[in-house]
Structure 1
Amino acid sequence: MMHPTYKNLEKATDGANANVYYASGSPAPQGNPSMYKYFWRVFSAQSPWEDDDFFTHAPVLCAADCEKEVQRLLALNLSCLLYGFRRPRKDPANPWDMNNPKWANVQFAVSWDEDVDPIVTGGHK
């Protein structure tokens, strides 16, 4: 994973054209949207934090909000680094054995039906 620093942002981009670099996580949500929810943090030259402070303070965005922020930055000719992760959805229809110790400290996302975020390409919220 590339750390979110201004120096790394400069290295990852060509300087002439704004672009998006996936620094961690999948470039696009994958799998069944009812089982996992994807989240993103966007690092750019406008980010007030870098490195560990970025992960502590930067807002966590849903896919739709991430797409809007990326488009805003590209319109300003600013490149960005994306940091994505996913969480399993807490839904009785999902096959998670909630008695299994592996789920003890996992933070779950809301179920598909309870999720109020807009649907994006690929059917994810």
Structure 2
Amino acid sequence: MVTDDEHLDRAFLALADPVRRAIVARLSRGPATVNELAEPFAISLQAVSKHIQVLEQAGLVTRTRDAQRRPVHLAPAALERLTAWIDGYRLAHEQSFRRLDAALRSSATPPATPSSPPSNHKEKES
């Protein structure tokens, strides 16, 4: 059984490669075949297939069969899990920054001091 941490590790390792990130970006617009996914790259179809296998093992994409076609689909639930994990840390840091901002604002405000009475000294006339 694969743990949540292992899923995260696999997904982030898969997304560490720029070709795989480009494939995910392309699939965000809709399913595509290996040939369609390979078009923008100067690499072999076999290399693109291996990239897709890594994404599939990470749970980020799935393949279906449509007659002779085997379109690759993005797995939105997997991306939502990654986003939720990232958002948890982002929200915690935002709260820390808000507290820091509030502390800095309160320390930047000069403390209220009672006004001093006007000076009784007259300037000397020359």
TM-score w.r.t. structure 1 length? Answer: 0.20
User: Which structure has more helix as a fraction of its residues?
Assistant: 2
Structure number with greater CO (CA < 8 Å, separation at least 6) is: 1
Flag the structure with higher strand content.
Answer: 1
TM-score, L = length of structure 2: 0.19
Determine which structure has more spread, i.e. the larger CA radius of gyration. Answer: 2
